[in-house]
Amino acid sequence: MRSFSTTRALLFALGVILLASFLPLGVSGYILGLLTLAYYFGVFAMAWDLLFGFAGEVNFGPTFLIGTGAYTAGILDNLYQPPIWLCLVAGALAAVIGGVVLALPALRVRGPYFGLTTLVAVLMLQNFIVVAAGLTGGEIGLTVPDVISISDTTNYEIALWFMAISGAILFSLSRSPIGLILQASGQDAVQAGALGFNVTKHKLAAFIISAFFSGLAGALLVFYLGTASVGTLVDITVGVQIIIAAVLGGRRTILGAVLGAVFLIAMSEALRPLGDLSNFIVFAMALIVVLLFPNGLLGLLTGTKENT
Amino acid sequence: MAAGAHLDVKGLTKRFGGLVAVKEMAFRVRAGEILGLIGPNGSGKSTVMKLIMGIERPDAGSVLINGVEVAGWPSHKIARMGAGIVFQHSRPLHRQTVFENIKLALLPDKLTRLFADPDIDERARAIAARVGLSAVLDRRPATLPFADLRKIEIAKAIARDPQVLLIDEPFAGLTSKETAAFSDLICELRDDGRAVLLVDHNVKSVARLVDRVLAMYVGERIAEGTADEVMRNETVRRVYLGGSIETAARPESSFRDSIAPFLAVGNVSVHYGKAQALEDVSIHVHAGEFVSVVGLNGAGKTTLFNSISGFLPYSGDIRREGTSLRGLTPATIARNGIVQCPEGRELFTDMTVRENLDLGGQHLPPAECANQIGWLFDLFPILRDRQKQTAGTLSGGEQQMLTIARALMMKPKLLILDEPTLGLAPVILEQLSKALERLRQTSPISVLLGEQNVTFALPHADRVYVLEHARIVWEGEPARFAAEAGTGYL
């Protein structure tokens, strides 16, 4: 990744964001809606990439963190109608707490067991939502009384700038000394320990940061959609799509994750006329990119060649 | 701080299940001193190092760094107490440059430090200059030669300015020139006032460097003193060279195929990435001959055997009865009669002894198979009693016998045994040794045995090769071994 420096990458990304912020002048509300969704997915994928690409931990349950944040915010709004920002803060906090409760025991186990633990956590959350239907709306979903705005443009700009700020924070973090220590912990925990780094502390921190952005984005998404449902926020397939977006965009790049998310949502929209076949084609394309271009879309664009 | 820094180890004990890997080790390394910790493969020396560094938790005993008890601490805390380790295998961050790898070691263990201190870059450059990496700072580890990768490890270790430095097999895989440069660097580190613990297989490789040597064998200390004293020590000589060994070599001219041997390995070289594992090795085995290849762990024995069995690409030529084996698959080579018993045994541990043997003989007609099993039960009587037991529940020695028996089920012409004695108790060695002798006396099978345990390798051998640092350095009759090659082996 030395082919472009941190500052240049951020400036370039800022340019793209500024251009994107003028999109509402030229495209329809429908497309804005799709992009809004894609931007929130981008944040999910970036948060996931911090955990996998840097700390080396495969979290199969990104939707556990997202769902915890989203449902906490939604339920709180449903019950007491506090100001929306309070719901958002509560959602992010709940995701962090849920993340810590999950990560503390999960980080003690090695290898694939961490991934399995996170996978089981998703299933538990999913079942809890269905069982506690009175509180959560169950399988039908939760409808929240408030939305942030009914304007497509406002919602679009909120998602765009939320994604931009999240991306800037996560990206800078990945390029900071902490990012380097995280990579060392992910690649060789024994050696990182022997160099004096508390591996568990760093991985836990990465999990907390990942949980914070996932939960906050999940909560924001609820107040954009006006509903929360297992199918859109918690289901395993949603988690798999987030993972595909991150890997497709380019592992260990943070910014690539956004690219992957936009690509994924744009493709399934473009192929919608094909009906059920569209998902198949999107996943097949993702598979091809992952197999042939392990550095993902961003790797293709920047021409980076890495030995993994 | 540097003055008086030292490492004290007392009563250090580590058990893995029933195996005592380290038993009540005690030693002290003073500031400005290099202690060599030597022992054959499996003696527990690497475990001692891991226990000191906190990578493994000791079951008993104490580790004091400058008088502070650190036994049982997590390794990052021990590192912060002033201990550093240079791993035997290079473990750089592959996606980062050399510079970033060194910089990593200079970072504080803090989550609040979003920006590195400005002087870190300068310090990283200074360290790189000291170990001789200045020219390659911006390269990725994957593009560097082996010796530079070792330098990165040293650079990372000294970046944290450790007062106690543990170095695992410092010279493995290095050329003699690189070894000399590396030795100088280690001496400099000692002269800075650090306490250095060098871990290696034998005295010879570290003799030039160390102030004192401690020799280990199966978890216990067997000798301590200067390099000369340890080399002269009777117990050490017995462990490395065996006591007075009865040899029963048959002269090479007595074999029918004395002119064109059954197996001829000619000028074979093998590389693993950048490390040379075999260099221009030539050996031969006659039909019915018992040949031992003696060499320490890492000398290249397994690589040699894997080349013969067709598992590895090599340069040079390997011929069986005059026909090149190049291009044949491992399965074909094995079916045609060159069968290897791998170091790791690789038994089907959930199957019974009998099932393992039946599997080995599945290409034989049933009658012949039963016949062969009968012969093997005579060769290894203990297996007859254990027939219905699953292989995983056998002792190490019994598993080794089963491995050899399963290989013999394939009716090999040449049997390759790779370190059959690894991890076995002396009493088991004797049983195994007797079985090999019976095999030699009663069958026409050629045997190629790779061993670091000389006591085991010499008695049955007709001829011995010594493999050292990827090269054959000696060839001859076992009787001449102690006199001619023994000192090089200590």
Q: B11 lies in a domain?
A: yes
Interface of B with A in 109-128 (CB under 8 A): 109, 111, 113-116
List, for residues B183-229, the tens digit of each pLDDT value: 998 999 999 899 999 998 778 778 888 999 999 988 889 999 998 89
Are A173 and B93 in contact (CB < 8 Å)?
Answer: no
Q: How many CB atoms lie within 10 A of CB B306?
A: 20
- Confidence at B463, pLDDT banded by 50, 70, 90: very high
Nearby residues of B405 by Cβ (< 8 Å), 6 or more positions away = B357, B360, B376, B379, B380, B383
Nearest Cα to Cα of residue A220 among A89, A60, A96, A63: A89
Kindly tell me if the per-residue pLDDT of A71 is higher than 50. Answer: yes
The residue among A49, A197, A201 with the most chain B CBs within 10 A of its CB, best to mutate, is: A197
Taking only the tens place, the pLDDT of each residue in B406-421 is 989 988 999 999 988 8
B307 plus B433 within the same structural domain: yes
User: Which B-chain residues 154-173 have CB contacts (< 8 A) with chain A?
Assistant: 156, 160
Contact A196 B76 (CB under 8 A): yes
pLDDT class for B435, splitting at 50, 70, 90?
confident
Q: Which of B81, B91, B99, B164 should be substituted to probe chain A, the one whose Cβ sees the most A Cβ atoms within 10 Å?
A: B91
Query: Which residues form the domain of B309?
Result: 252-489
Choosing among B86, B93, B98, B139, which should be mutated to test the A contact, i.e. which has the most A CBs within 10 A? Answer: B93
Are A187 and B94 an interchain contact pair (Cβ–Cβ within 8 Å)? yes
B342 with B407, same domain: the answer is yes
Has residue A287 been placed in a domain?
Answer: no
pLDDT at B5: 66
User: How many other CB atoms are there within 10 angstroms of residue B253's CB atom?
Assistant: 8
Q: Is B370 part of a structural domain of the chain? A: yes
Q: Does residue B2 lie in a domain region?
A: no
Nearest to B270 by CA among B283, B256, B284, B280: B280
For the stretch B254-308, pLDDT in tens is: 776 767 789 999 999 998 877 788 889 999 999 889 999 988 777 889 899 999 9
Asked if B191 is an interface residue toward chain A (Cβ–Cβ < 8 A), one would say no
Contact flag A191-B91 (C-beta cutoff 8 Å): yes
**In the predicted model, what is the mean pLDDT of residues A137-143?**
88
A289 pLDDT more than 70: yes
Determine the Cα–Cα distance for residues A216 and B361; give it in Å rounded to an integer: 64
Residue A49 pLDDT greater than 90, yes or no = yes
Q: What is the pLDDT of residue A279?
A: 80
The confidence score (pLDDT) of residue B1 equals 41
Same domain, B63 and B201: yes
* Rounded mean pLDDT, B103-110: 88
Query: How much of chain A, in percent, has pLDDT values that exceed 90?
Result: 49
Last residue of a domain, one of B183, B213, B241: B241
Spatial distance between the Cα atoms of B447 and B438, rounded to a whole number of angstroms: 12
Let me know whether B217 and B295 are in one domain.
no
Span A211-243, pLDDT tens digits? 999 999 999 999 999 999 999 999 988 999 999
Q: Is B350 on the interface with A (CB under 8 A)?
A: no
Range of the domain at A101: 32-232
Residues A235-247 pLDDT 10s:
988 999 999 999 8
- Residue ending a domain, choose from B241, B268, B286: B241
Residue in A closest to B155 by C-alpha: A195
Under an 8 A CB cutoff, do A195 and B104 touch? Answer: yes
The shortest C-alpha distance from A40 to chain B (Å) reads 26
ipTM of predicted complex: 0.81
Which residue among B97, B105, B114 sits closest to A195, beta carbon to beta carbon? B105
pLDDT at B455: 78
pLDDT of B174: 73
CA–chain centroid gap for A300, Å, is: 22
Q: B139 in contact with A at a CB cutoff of 8 Å?
A: no
Are residues B88 and B128 both part of a single domain? yes
> What is the four-CA torsion angle of B386, B388, B393, B394, rounded to 10 degrees?
20
Residue of A nearest to B55 (CA): A190
Cβ proximity of A278 and A271 under 8 Å: yes
B198 and B108 in a single domain? The answer is yes
Stretch A106-115: mean pLDDT: 77
Reference B436, options B296, B241, B286, B451; nearest CA is B451
pLDDT at B242: 61
CA separation for the pair B352, B350 (Å, rounded): 7
| Mean pLDDT calculated for residue range A126-154 | 90
Do B335 and B202 reside in the same domain of the chain?
A: no
pLDDT of res. B224: 92
Query: Three-class SS string for chain B?
Result: CCCCCCEEEEEEEEEECCEEEEEEEEEEECCCEEEEEECCCCCCHHHHHHHHHCCCCCCEEEEEECCEECCCCCHHHHHHCCEEEECCCCCCCCCCCHHHHHHHHHCCCCCCCCCCCCHHHHHHHHHHHHHCCHHHCCCCHHHCCHHHHHHHHHHHHHHCCCCEEEEECCCCCCCHHHHHHHHHHHHHHHHCCCEEEEEECCHHHHCCCCCEEEEEECCEEEEEECHHHHHHCHHHHHHHHCCCCCCCCCCHHHCCCCCCCCEEEEEEEEEECCEEEEEEEEEEECCCCEEEEECCCCCCHHHHHHHHCCCCCCEEEEEECCEECCCCCHHHHHHCCEEEECCCCCCCCCCEHHHHHHHHCCCCCHHHHHHHHHHHHHHCHHHHHCCCCEHHHCCHHHHHHHHHHHHHHCCCCEEEEECCCCCCCHHHHHHHHHHHHHHHHHCCCEEEEEECCHHHHCCCCCEEEEEECCEEEEEECHHHHHHHCHHHHC
Identify all chain B residues contacting A177, using CB atoms and an 8 Å cutoff: 107, 113-116
Are residues B264 and B179 located together in one domain of the fold?
no
Q: Is residue A101 part of a domain?
A: yes
B412 shares contact with chain A (CB less than 8 Å): no
> Between chain A and chain B, how many beta carbons pairs sit less than 8 Å apart?
84
Cβ <8 Å between A173 and B114 = yes
Instruction: Note whether residue B384 is domain-resident.
Output: yes
The strand order across the sheet containing B414-418 reads B338-341, B414-418, B446-451, B290-294, B463-468, B471-476
The reported pLDDT for the residue numbered A239 is: 92
Subunit contact A181:B104, Cβ cutoff 8 A: yes
Chain B interface, best mutation among A191, A207, A305, by max B CB count within 10 A: A191
Please tell me the predicted confidence (pLDDT) of residue A233.
Answer: 92
**Percent residues over pLDDT 90 in chain B:** 33
Question: Which of A94-98, A174-178, A300-304, B165-169 is the least confident region?
Answer: A300-304
Over residues B151-172, mean pLDDT: 88
Lowest-confidence region among A1-10, A137-146, A248-257, B65-74: A1-10
B232 close to A (CB below 8 A)? no
Provide the number of structural domains found in chain A: 1
- Taking an 8 Å cut-off on Cβ atoms, the answer to whether B115 and A177 are in contact is yes
Residue B110 lies in a domain: yes
- Per-residue confidence (pLDDT) for residue A2, from 0 to 100: 43
Cβ count within 10 A of residue A288: 10
pLDDT at residue B179 greater than cutoff 90: no
Label residue B18 by pLDDT band (50, 70, 90).
low
Mean pLDDT of the residues in chain B: 86
Identify the weakest region by mean pLDDT among A65-74, B110-119, B441-450: B110-119
Q: In the structure, what pLDDT confidence band is assigned to residue B423 with cuts at 50, 70 and 90?
A: low
Cβ atoms within 10 Å, residue A308: 8
Six-digit token string for B8: 């004290």
Answer whether B65's CB lies under 8 Å from B82's CB: yes
Specify whether B261 is located in the same domain as B236.
no
Please tell me the distance in Å from B148's CA to the nearest CA on chain A.
18
The shortest C-alpha distance from B431 to chain A (Å) reads 39
A183 to chain B: which residues are within 8 Å by CB?
93, 95-96
Q: What is the pLDDT of residue A127?
A: 94
What angle separates helix A112-131 from helix A62-80, to the nearest 10 degrees?
Answer: 30
Question: With contacts defined as CB-CB under 8 Å, which chain A residues touch B94?
Answer: 187, 307-308
Do B198 and B259 fall within a single domain? no
Q: What is the pLDDT of residue A262?
A: 92
Q: B103 touching A, CB under 8 A?
A: yes
**Is A2 in Cβ contact with B97 (below 8 Å)?**
yes
For the ranges A20-24, B273-277, B435-439, the lowest mean pLDDT is seen at B273-277
Q: What is the model's pLDDT at position A306?
A: 44
pLDDT at B490 > cutoff 70: no
Q: Which residues of A touch B104 (CB under 8 A)?
A: 180-181, 184, 195
Q: Report the C-alpha gap between B355 and B353 in whole angstroms.
A: 6
Most confident of B64-78, B111-125, B239-253, B457-471: B64-78
| Residues B342 and B439 placed together within one structural domain of the fold | yes
Range with the largest mean pLDDT of A154-168, A238-252, B195-209, B420-434: A154-168
Residues of A with CB under 8 A from a CB of B: 1-2, 172-173, 176-178, 180-181, 183-184, 187-188, 190-199, 201-202, 205, 252, 306-308
Q: Which residue, among A170, A183, A195, A203, would best test binding to B if mutated, counting the most B CBs under 10 Å from its CB?
A: A195
Under the banding of pLDDT at 50, 70 and 90, the label for residue B425 is: low
Q: Are B214 and B221 in contact (CB under 8 A)?
A: yes
Number of domains making up chain B: 2
> pLDDT for B351-386, tens place per residue?
889 998 988 888 888 888 888 899 899 888 888 888
Distance from CA of B88 to the nearest CA of A (A): 12
What's the pLDDT at A32?
Answer: 93
Average pLDDT of chain A is: 88
B223 shares its domain with B331: no
The pLDDT of residue B450 is 92
pLDDT tier at B65, thresholds 50, 70, 90: very high
Q: Name the pLDDT band for A307 (thresholds 50, 70, 90).
A: very low
CB contact under 8 A, B103 and A172: no
Q: How confident is the model at residue A308 (pLDDT cuts 50, 70, 90)?
A: very low
At A94 the pLDDT is 97
Domain with residue B480: its CATH number is: 3.40.50.300
Q: Does the structure show a pLDDT above 50 at A1?
A: no
Nearest-CA distance A95 → chain B (Å): 20
Only one residue has tokens 């390029």, namely: A175
Show which of B202, B221, B241 is a domain's final residue.
B241
Is A186 within the bounds of a domain? yes
Is residue B70 one of the residues assigned to a domain?
yes
